[in-house]
Amino acid sequence: MFESTIDSSVYPRKAYWGACGFGSLEQCLNRAIKDAAMCEGGALQGPSDRWTPEQYIESWLAAFAQPLTLARSATTCKVDALAKGVYCYTDEESAQRLRDVKALLASQALGGEEAVTVDLETPLDRLAALLNDAKTPIASWCFFNRAQCREPICQDAAYLAEPIKAPRLPSVYAYRLPARPGEQQFERDYLVGVGGESPRLAGWAYAAVEELIRRVAPAVEQEQPGAAVATMSALRAAVRNAPEISAAQPLRVERPPNYTYCHYSELFAQVARENNQPGQQVIVVTAAALIDPNNSVSRLPTSWITMPDTPMREDTLDRDDEPSFGALA
């Protein structure tokens, strides 16, 4: 996967091609869809306006329909040089990341510990496993260059899928928290959930839509090729139509086991004391506490806060109307 982008904070502005993904068709589709989710918050600007997730994934679907052939070449990357480019807070963390990379190289049998050389004779499934592993700082652009792409189009690898306007979707739940005093509509926080799980606090509307797209759209596209665009629109509508929960609605706050970051651990203990539940690993607060600026619970990570199962929970997808489409600019 190659993408031409411009860094808006760098002058002069110049577009550069870079490899942004590598792997099987399934892995690349998943990456494109998850990257598309980030466009919901305005992460990608087009020539005239920001792109929506629908526009972004449509551009990738057009590219997957006409894949080019990659020319043979060999590239060697030194692991030490790559590790030094990783953002780390301490020397110990940098050293640990380097050890992780070397362990991955050894597990995938890709070259030596200090460097990895890649060409089209390399076991590509092992390379894909390496590049798609969250632990490694090694990126696709280290090995592949846009200049390697050559005609003709490889029709055997083309991904051709007619758009599906009304895909089958899993149950999706979205709820709005009550408004804080003086809060704007875009500042409202949302809880979202999929299937039988308890809805979890996601943050503002764009973050709720982004989370649902990341979690739902890849699987739907795999099962129903051509469904990604309509799925994204339907998930956005689910958040837009989310009902507001009562201020008295109980919410569950749970610190993950073995969590070691001291700041949030101390803050969790403070929240437990403020809500008269000192020493508890799991505490229960109301939605009113979460929107109270004087209650510390709102400063905890959103992923720690869920809404337990209640009779009020219902699927917020509108399954009778066809989702709207975003047009490709």
> 24-77 pLDDT, tens per residue?
999 999 999 999 999 998 888 776 678 899 999 999 999 999 999 888 777 777
Number of domains in the chain: 2
Is 101 a domain residue? Answer: yes
Q: For residue 130, give its domain range.
A: 75-144
User: Which of 144, 162, 183 is the last residue before a domain boundary?
Assistant: 144
Number of CB atoms found within 10 A of residue 90's CB: 8
CB 177 within 8 A of CB 288: no
Q: Rounded to whole angstroms, what are the CA distances from 68 to 2, 31, 120, 145?
A: 11, 19, 15, 13
Is 79 a domain residue? Answer: yes
- Of the chain, the percentage scoring pLDDT greater than 70 comes to 85
Is 301 a domain residue? Answer: yes
- Of the chain, the percentage scoring pLDDT greater than 90 comes to 45
Per-residue model confidence (pLDDT) at position 311: 44
User: Which of 128, 144, 160 is the last residue before a domain boundary?
Assistant: 144
Is 88 a domain residue? Answer: yes
- Summarised one tens digit per residue, pLDDT across range 166-210 is 999 999 999 999 998 888 888 899 999 998 889 999 999 999 999
Angle between helices 228-240 and 53-64 (to 10 degrees): 170
User: Which of 110, 144, 178 is the last residue before a domain boundary?
Assistant: 144
Is 139 a domain residue? Answer: yes
What phi and psi values does residue 4 have, to the nearest 5 degrees?
Answer: -100, 120
Is 266 a domain residue? Answer: yes
CB 120 within 8 A of CB 70: yes
Is 267 a domain residue? Answer: yes
- Summarised one tens digit per residue, pLDDT across range 85-139 is 555 556 676 677 777 777 777 776 776 666 777 777 778 888 888 788 776 667 7
Is 180 a domain residue? Answer: no
- What's 88's DSSP letter? -
